[in-house]
Structure 1
Amino acid sequence: MRILLTSDTYEPTINGVVTSLMNLQHGLKQLGHEVRILTLSESHTTYYREGVWYLGSLNSGTIYPGTRVLDTLARKPLKDLIRWRPEIVHSQSEFSTFILAKRIAHVVGAPLVHTYHTLYEDYTAYFSTNERIGRALAKLFSRIILAQTDSVIAPTSKIEHLLRSYGVDKPIEIIPSGIDLRKFSANSEKELLDAMKVRLGIPMENLVIVYVGRLAKEKNTAELIANFSSDRTDRTLLLVGDGPQRQQLEQQVASLGRKKQIIFAGMQNQEDIPFFYRLGNVFCSASTSETQGLSYVEALASGLPVLCRADACLDGLIQNEVNGWQYHSNEEYHQYLERAFSDATLLTKLSAQARFSSARYDRLTFAESVSTVYEQLIKARTQPYRILA
């Protein structure tokens, strides 16, 4: 199949949407499909490179940090992609590139699939001063966008139920995003990890709690820091990533007098992320704004038990006393963390089960499931291609 994937973000940006998109791209190529990408560039320049059209864009960080919007008519890229005649168009974002995805799909008569990655209800603070109105707008926006598609992919049943509650009546397939398991399950030399600990200022004997993700209000990272403030000094909280709340979180750490024990590693290259997981003994997150939580899967594949705030999107992924724990209160958080760190046998067992439980999230399995959706839509589509001038 000729498959066009569209997204407002792509590498070198690191986030869940980009990770899912790139793993789908690689998986589809492994299956023998021809894949092209349509995305926004990080400047005003439009260019094509290795199967990817990067469209000139403007910084829209005043709305949400790190975002961009299209600033070109994109005539040449559109003409090129329409002549290529994709058999399926699969959008990953609801804004600039969604408009183009819809146009291309309409002109060539291809089905339009959309993956719903972002829980906009948890981002209302960025676009509305009134939470109730913001949530209503998020629901209306999602319903309008998805009504223009032929099929929707939800990464978890939590999102499928949410979209149905919005009034979305399009077919919804539940397909969890996959990852490159080999990249995270590989072992690293002890000397390399020791050198990283020295560079980051992590004492060799310390147990390490690691978080990988965006430092933003909706990720609730402040809770991780607050929970750590009463911990012993032989533990380190390693925060990997960046975001709009970093300065505020650094001030929180300073006020607690924990600068040596709570370390901000900052944004890292995608290829280096697996090494940061391997520095940890346990992965922790307090977020409840995930549609799936790919970082949880990456942690499991790295052999890290996951300790996270309970969330419906994690049902079936994080199982108490099997590969980690879901906690409902700060008291439970401390209780579970102490169980993990006070029992080496239990920690080893949880680590082994973590690796085992990640196996079903392989990116090739992910691509096969999505490819099946494509094939069903193409088979059902009777509308002929429009004749182009």
Structure 2
Amino acid sequence: MRIGMMVDSYKPYISGITNYVEVNKRFLELAGHDVFVFTFGDMDYRDGEPRVIRSPGLPLADTGFYLSLRYLRAAKQLLQTMDIVHVHHPFLSGRLALRYCRPLRIPLVYTNHTRYDLYAHAYLPMMPDEISHGLLQAYMPTFCKAVELVITPSAGMERILRQLNVDVPIEVVPNGVDLQNFHSAAPLSRKEFGYKEDDILLVYAGRIALEKNLPFLLKSFKGISQAIPNIHLLLIGGGVQQYEDEIRSLVNELKLDQRVRLTSRVSYDQLPAYLAMCNIFVTASVTEVHPLSVIEAMGAGLPIMGIDSVGVGDIVVDGSSGFLSTHDQPAFTAKLTRLCLDQDLRAQMSDSARKASSIYAIESTTGIILKHYEKLVAESRPRKSNWRTRLRGFVEQFNS
């Protein structure tokens, strides 16, 4: 099959969606399919992988996103030769998918990766919740009805879509991770980072961004660091420079500069070794859908400390593969303190986390996605086989 992946942003921007598309593309190609990524970005950027098709756009500061309302003509024509198209952002990419693919009866799949309701609250705090929620209720049901298949990576996110009045069938397909490198990772040398072997090393890996609730995490860590002298926190990832600077300022304000280290971005192939060096993975984010970072940490054998919310709460079993807390600072701090102090408990949870991660192996989840693709393509062929080529030429006159 010829499979198109449509995303609003791709490399060099790093996000859970970028990693998801990259690893799924790789495993679908190993299965013998041709996979193309259609996105916006810097036209001079050179990819380390084949079949990434960029169209120019207006860069939105240093966010990694570009604004555009159309593809280059060549990109559009190539997109219209796909057997199936998988959309990963519903707004820019989603609208273009409907515009370019629906007239040709190319089946469309949409995966909802993002808590847009909470992102609106984080980035548009002056907008009343009723307005942002109403806008999503106006857009999402119509968009989801226009595609052949809606996928969400977690049951929790399915409930959120239902609250937005999406009433079409939804398939829950977990995000997959290539776990081999995480299961077998050799840890980096702690000595090179100035850590001792008996230090308790907490790690967060992900974007340094407003919606990740990092001030909450740092304030909890501040309390724990006063009680446990050999505890350290490693923040792996990057983000918008302004917000990175704000987090560094908060670290200094809390007088944690000797206990908290920000690494900025690290290459994905180095991440397993970083995680293997640590003891506990921590996240205070409540805006996740099905975080790959949590699955990757579990694959590396780290117990998880998180907040019981959509995404994290769908993956972590409280008391088994980690601890879940309410979104309450004292409760979160108390559970994390217990996990830091109880070495035997950490060892038990480490083993449970590693075993639990196996259900998210990319080999399994890609197989599920592929079956959906094959079914939709088979259903679409009788309708489009006789007139698709002629209609493409007709539509091209109006979309050019």
Does 73-82 or 252-261 show the bigger shift?
73-82
What do the CA deviations read for 1:257-311 (whole angstroms, capped 9, x no partner)? Answer: 1101011111222222222212210001111100111111011001000000111
Instruction: Give the structure 2 partner of residue 216 of structure 1.
Output: 209
Aligned with residue 188 of structure 1, among 163, 182, 186: 186
| CA displacement at 1:180 relative to structure 2 | 0.6
- Conserved? CA contact 1:180–1:362, under 8 Å: yes
* TM superposition score normalised by structure 2: 0.88
Q: Which residue of 2 aligns with 1:22?
A: 22
Equivalent residues in 2 for 1:1-389, closer than 5 Å? 1-43=1-43, 50-61=50-61, 65-70=63-68, 73-82=71-80, 85-124=81-120, 125-127=122-124, 129-132=126-129, 133-188=131-186, 192-194=188-190, 196-198=192-194, 202-230=195-223, 231=225, 232-244=228-240, 245-328=243-326, 329-381=328-380, 382-385=382-385, 386=388, 387=390, 388-389=392-393
How far 1:88 moved relative to its partner?
0.9
Q: CA RMSD in A?
A: 2.3
SS at match of 1:176: coil
Deviation at 1:81, TM superposition (A): 3.4
Among all aligned residue pairs of Structure 1 and Structure 2, give the percentage whose two residues are the same amino acid.
26
Separation in 1, partners of 2:320, 2:336: 14
> How far off its partner does 1:54 sit?
1.6
SS at match of 1:321: coil
Of residues 300-309 and 335-344 in structure 1, the stretch that sits farther from structure 2 once superposed is 335-344
Deviations 1:321-345 (A, max 9, x none): 2110101133332332233232322
1:135-164 Cα distance to aligned partner (Å, 9 max, x none): 322332323432321111101111111112
Separation in 2, partners of 1:109, 1:49: 29
**Aligned in 2, Cα 1:46/1:205: closer, same or farther, shift over 3 Å?**
closer
CA–CA distance in 1 between the matches of 2:125 and 2:341? 45
Q: Normalised by the size of structure 1, how large is the TM-score?
A: 0.90
> What stretches of structure 1 of length at least 5 have no aligned partner?
none
Instruction: Out of 19-28 and 355-364, give the one that drifted further.
Output: 19-28
Structure 2 runs not aligned, ≥5 long: 394-400
Q: Distance in 1 between matches of 2:361 and 2:211?
A: 27
Per the TM alignment, residue 319 of structure 1 is displaced from its structure 2 partner at its CA by: 1.1
The alignment partner of 1:259 has SS state of coil
Rounded to whole Å, the distance in 1 between the matches of 2:48 and 2:321 is: 43
Deviation at 1:98, TM superposition (A): 2.6
The 1:247–1:135 alpha-carbon spacing in structure 2 relative to 1, beyond 3 Å, is farther
Change (3 A) 1:343 1:48: closer
